[in-house]
Structure 1
Amino acid sequence: MSETAIAPGDVDLKSYIQDVPDFPKPGILFKDITPLLSAPEAFGAAIDRFAAHFGEKDITAIIAAEARGFIFAAPLALRLGARFVPVRKPGKLPRDTHSFTYELEYGEDTLEMHTDAVQPGDKILLVDDLLATGGTVKACVSIAEQTGASIAGCAFLIELGFLDGRKGLDQYDICSLITY
């Protein structure tokens, strides 16, 4: 039995996102990506679209914050022949780290990256599953810029445009595959 291949541009990624009302708290409409992740044709199409957009940018490292950003960053790093650099919560990385603390709506958060993971001159792509208010990606930009690397772009599966997360990221090439 043979299957007909589906071209990446022919896959409607939005149809694989499921809305979950009142999660994680009342009033929030959560965009669940697990149906997309469980469909190889959709997950593969997402990686293919990111690779097509950033493939000519000579990316040397892909940075992603835990945890869902890892899901897209790791296969994309393999596809682009780049290093995958995890950014994690404090105390999760075993060696010396760069650290960046940033403000949240109610409090603050901190992210860390190994000090030897990114070098001056590296061309960095930042990857996450969702661009909402932009706090996490802006923290990742700050960590990467501490190293002397340049930011080649930012890639997101979903962008919640009404939250204006792009504000302050205007100087970067942003690729969002789905926008609400």
Structure 2
Amino acid sequence: MIPLDWKDRAAALLKAYEKEGLMIATAESCTGGLVAGLLTEIAGSSKVVERGFVTYSNEAKTELLGVPAELIAQHGAVSEPVARAMAEGALKHSKADVAVAITGIAGPTGGTATKPVGLVHFALAKKDDKIKVLMRHYGDIGRESVRRSAVSDALMLLEGAITLN
């Protein structure tokens, strides 16, 4: 189910985070916990993976991560401000040092002219550091492909937050 090269990436990532004594939290919407699932596929991941939030609904984003309902109403759940708030909330509501957040439209429905299927926003929050954001327009490539692409980009953000040796 999980590509071998992703397992290798995840294992290297976990090793680097463990070496630095850092913990990870995930805040996932359109990926539905796939990033946390990938990381916890690796034996010993409990030394690094602090927790994962699957916040598929707007209410879950508000209740579990503290994303203001007004922010969602103003910008929509699939937006940079909401991704930022999700990452910040994951740090605040966990003991993690680094949090990655993902919110997007995997399809095949749910897209609009301004927020098409395949649009995904990411945020990476690290304690005592600026939040990094990423926006991807994968296009209407199919639900599974959008979600897989989002997992790969979330790994890239987590890799970029630490030196991999």
State the TM-score, normalizing by the size of structure 2. 0.43
Structure with max Cα Rg: 1
Larger RCO (CA within 8 A; separation ≥ 6): 2
